[in-house]
């Protein structure tokens, strides 16, 4: 009698264990089970910026293709902190995904800083070709190796232009000019090369700083100027187009591996589709019509003079990026 009870008890334990294991199979990316994997995703860009329109589409695609088993919770506009804080959070595991400029992530992976070198990119096609090539792989490999961060895609953020409350036609007009820059070494050095006084600060602080004259001007792509309403507090737009900024959609490698192969492929495919949407919207948002809507006075500056003033930066940062990388990029055809 006692033996029967023991056998029955063991059977109950085994059955319960099997049910429990089956009910949790989705957490590893399996097609079975009902568990939902949640990802915490943030960035510093305004909610209606092309990057976040594309981000929302990315999230929708992932939800559709995984049958709701991967849910991405989206926190735009700096809700999770500064770019640096969000990058650190993604490295440490308090955040799962971040969208950040190559300059912003360069503090943690120095090669990435080359993405915001002035005048390195000829056009969006050149940027995309390089980032899909061996040179781009060099950047993504360093980020994965050094920080455990996987690049899902590069988005085109736009071409950076100067704004101010006085017309600027050449670097000679920038002596003593307090220019807000991101906290990115190459952009700080660029401001100095033009004769300006760089004032690094996070994007979330910029509108008030322009409004209260803490800084005299700033430099950002037209979509960012529009989304953050900098045209309300700046009169002139100088079409310098000095930097074409790539931004990086990144996920923690630890979290990526937890998803399983099927969900990994879905995320990568969704990121590629989101990139196409983002790049199209960004290019549309930089059109002459979009620029006119800003209501700013547009200046066609001496771009050759700005290019010449910053021409020594590539050599200055060669030890940071690695010898030959700059040449590999500019020589890509």
**What CATH number has the domain bearing residue 171?**
3.40.190.170
* 52, pLDDT greater than 80: yes
Q: Are 39 and 97 in contact (CB under 8 A)?
A: yes
What pLDDT, in 10s, does the model give residues 112-148?
999 999 999 999 999 999 999 999 999 999 999 999 9
Taking alpha carbons only, the member of 174, 296, 160 closest to residue 239 is 160
Asked whether residue 249 is assigned to any structural domain, the reply reads: yes
* 238, pLDDT greater than 90: yes
Asked whether residue 320 is assigned to any structural domain, the reply reads: yes
Q: For the chain, what is the domain count?
A: 1
Question: What separation in angstroms does the CA of 49 have from each of 94, 142, 250, 252, 324?
Answer: 25, 28, 18, 24, 35
Q: Which strand (E) or helix (H) includes residue 250?
A: strand 236-252
Q: Are 118 and 307 in contact (CB under 8 A)?
A: yes
Which pTM was predicted? 0.87
Helix, strand or coil for residue 109?
Answer: coil
Asked whether residue 2 is assigned to any structural domain, the reply reads: no
Asked whether residue 316 is assigned to any structural domain, the reply reads: yes
Asked whether residue 217 is assigned to any structural domain, the reply reads: yes
Asked whether residue 6 is assigned to any structural domain, the reply reads: no
Question: Using CA atoms, how far apart are residues 94 and 47, in angstroms rounded to an integer?
Answer: 22
What pLDDT, in 10s, does the model give residues 24-47?
333 444 444 569 999 999 999 999
Asked whether residue 40 is assigned to any structural domain, the reply reads: yes
Asked whether residue 156 is assigned to any structural domain, the reply reads: yes
3-state SS of 191-244 is HHHCCCEEEECCHHHHHHHHHCCCCCEEEEEHHHHHHCCHHHCCCEEEEEEEEE
Full residue range of the structural domain in which residue 286 is found: 36-330
* 332, pLDDT greater than 70: yes
């Amino acid at each position: 009698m006692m033996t029967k009870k023991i056998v029955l008890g063991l059977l109950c334990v085994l059955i319960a264990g099997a049910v429990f294991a089956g009910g949790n199979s989705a957490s590893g990316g399996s097609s079975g089970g009902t568990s939902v994997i949640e990802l915490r995703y943030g960035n510093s860009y305004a909610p209606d910026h092309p990057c976040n329109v594309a981000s929302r589409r990315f999230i929708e695609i992932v939800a559709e293709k995984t049958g709701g088993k991967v849910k991405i919770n989206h926190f735009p506009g700096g809700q999770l902190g500064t770019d640096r804080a969000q990058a650190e959070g993604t490295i440490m595991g308090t955040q799962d995904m971040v969208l950040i400029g190559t300059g912003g992530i360069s503090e943690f992976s120095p090669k990435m800083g080359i993405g915001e070198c002035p005048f390195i990119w000829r056009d969006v096609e050149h940027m995309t070709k390089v980032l899909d090539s061996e040179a781009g792989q060099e950047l993504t490999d360093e980020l994965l190796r050094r920080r455990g961060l996987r690049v899902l895609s590069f988005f085109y953020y736009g071409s950076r232009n100067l704004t101010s409350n006085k017309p600027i036609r050449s670097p000679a007009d920038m002596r003593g000019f307090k220019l807000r820059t991101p906290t990115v070494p190459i952009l700080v050095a660029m401001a100095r090369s033009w004769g300006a006084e760089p004032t690094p600060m996070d994007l979330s602080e910029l509108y008030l700083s322009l409004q209260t004259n803490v800084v005299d001007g700033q430099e950002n792509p037209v979509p960012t100027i529009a989304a953050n309403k900098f045209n309300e507090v700046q009169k002139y737009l100088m079409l310098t187009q000095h930097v074409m900024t790539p931004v990086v959609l990144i996920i923690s490698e630890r979290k990526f591996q937890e998803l399983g192969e099927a969900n990994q492929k879905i995320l990568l495919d969704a990121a590629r589709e989101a990139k196409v949407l983002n790049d199209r919207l960004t290019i549309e948002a930089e059109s002459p019509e979009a620029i006119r809507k800003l209501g700013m006075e547009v200046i066609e500056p001496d771009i050759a003079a700005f290019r010449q003033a910053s021409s020594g930066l590539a050599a200055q940062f060669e030890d940071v990026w690695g010898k030959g990388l700059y040449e590999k990029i500019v020589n890509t055809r």
